[in-house]
Each structure stands twice: as structure tokens, then as C-alpha cells.
Amino acid sequence: MTPAAPLTLRAATPDDAPAFHAVMMAAGMDPRSSWTRTTEAQLHAALSAPGAGGFIALDGTQALGIVGYRPDGHATLTLNKLAVRPEARGRGLGRQLVQAVERVAARGGYARVLLAVSQYNQSVLPLYAHLGYSVNPDARYAFASPLSPAPVVLVKAITGVPDGYTLRAATPDDASVIATQRERMFEDMGAPYGPGHTARFGPWVTDRLRSGTYLGFLIDHAAQAVAGAGLMLLDWPPGHLDAATHRAYLLNVYVQPQHRARGLARALVHAATRETRARGLRVLTLHASDAGRPLYEHLGFEPTNEMRLTLTEDQ
């Protein structure tokens, strides 16, 4: 007997549109749903859209499950076309396909994954709830069919940290950890900074963590903080970039050497960006090290015309 081919999960291409269509038509969706009227041409176009993609679960050469995704702005990745053939259900394929899209969102810096559930398919809501999705009546699904009833929209925040790591908010009890990370950051930059600076910084950051003018983000691994960043909320005059009376300033981004190249710095920057947006602020500034500059540029930060004068005793 020839052994069964292993189940594989791979990225989809526009050429997989016929396989997507076959799985969708076999999924047993209510005939009133616009899902049942989807054509291969529409699927090919959806998989070809800028930033779009998908995944396909295969048993040998047979497609058993599919999922698509498509960006909606810079912060949201929409999940769509999740389907598993009836005979393949109960094997965790739906969960694997959803998690594959979430990994894309994390790598791409999206703050959330959003999906829509048809009014004719409400039985799947518990599955999404189990996977961490919550109904959001204020969210909008940008790709909804105008010929169908308004869908139920669900959202899940994406932290962007890999398995085994936890992103959390810092508290005043973390002041010494933040101070030590700041010292290590300057050491990596080759800047003159030592225990004396750290001793002065500790009480300073403790007071501002308590007042809420310094917001800290830490990533834990094995019960130890291995990465961190801070966000200061500065009094700022309203201007043409932002009418708000505060400006967000990102600082103290640090990852322990043995935990680098795992997306932790990116996750910290995204956490600070989400917090900035949540507070209604439009401008987030920072001072980039040579090592950090490529990441910040990739995430959309741009150089400014800022200048600095360091005063000496004779000035």
C-alpha cells in the first residue's frame, strides 16, 4: 500500500483560484450567501490584488482547506474565504489557516486581523471566539458584498511576538529593568553612559510611569524581561502636522542580543504606534541609532530637518 502523502500548508498564488473555488463550493454554504456566487475569475483577481495572498492546505495534491487575506489600509489585514472541505473538518485545519494569516499580519506590522461572518453562517462564531476574535460593531469590512445583508465583523489585535514571548505594559515596579535596558542600549551604541546615569534615570522614570507621561512596553520570555521600549507623551503646541496638544516620542528601544532577529523590536514599535493612534495623536518621533534606522525606515519613519546644539561651558 502506498503511504498517504503528508498534509501540507503553503502560500497560495493566483493560479490556485480553481482550487479555492472548488473548496468554497464544497463547503456547504447557505445558497443565499454571495459566497456561492463567487467565480474563479473573481478569486484570481482577489489573489492578485496588491498585498493580497492566501494559504492552501493540501493532502497530496487535493486541496482540503483555503484562506485568503487582503490589506485594508496600513493597520488592518482582512481575512477572507476561510473554508475546509466537510470530510476534512475536525483536524484543526481552520485553526492552522487562520494562524497562518495572523503570522503574515505580525510580520507585516498590522495592528489587527479583521474578518466578516455572513448572516447565513453564524454557526462559525464560536470558532473565531475560541481563536481570540471579538465582535466589533464599530468596525467595517471594506470588501463586503453590497447585495448581501451586513456581516458580523470580528477583530483580533496582533502583538507580533513569537511563541514563548509575551508583550505587556510596564509598571512602576519595572523601573529598574527599564533603567538597565537603557544603559545596555547606550553601551551597544558606544555612547558614554554608565551607572551614574542609570541611578538618576531610575527615579525619573518611576515618577513618570506613575503619572502616565511615560508608557513602557516590555516583552517577557521565561519570566524575564528581554526587550523593552518607552513612549513619552510630551506637551506640544498644536501645528500643521497635528492639532493635538501632545506629541508621542519613542525611546529606549532595546532587545537582549540573544533574542534579536525575532521581530521583538518591530513588535515594540508597533505597540507604541498603536498606543499613539489610540490617544488620537498623529505624529510619533524618535532618534534612530545606526543599527535601528533600517527598521524604522521600513516601518514608515522619515528623516526630518531637526538640528541640535549642545552647549558647552563657554557658550
pLDDT in tens, 211-262: 999 999 999 999 999 999 999 999 999 999 999 989 999 999 999 999 998 9
Q: Are 82 and 64 in contact (CB under 8 A)?
A: no
| 260 phi and psi angles, rounded to 5 deg | -80, 170
Q: Are 35 and 145 in contact (CB under 8 A)?
A: no
Domain 165-298, architecture per CATH: 3-Layer(aba) Sandwich (3.40)
Residue with cell 543599527: 291
Q: In the chain, where are the structural domains located?
A: 7-157, 165-298
What's the pLDDT at 315?
A: 63
- CA pair distance 103, 109, nearest whole angstrom: 10
Phi-psi group of 85: left, alpha or beta (phi > 0 → left; psi -120 to 50 → alpha; rest → beta): beta
What is the pLDDT confidence band of residue 104, given thresholds at 50, 70 and 90?
confident
In the predicted model, is pLDDT for residue 2 greater than 90? no
What is the pLDDT confidence band of residue 277, given thresholds at 50, 70 and 90?
confident
- Ranked by mean pLDDT, the top range of 34-43, 99-108, 130-139, 248-257 is 248-257
Domain 7-157, architecture per CATH: 3-Layer(aba) Sandwich (3.40)
Q: Do domains 7-157 and 165-298 have the same CATH topology?
A: yes
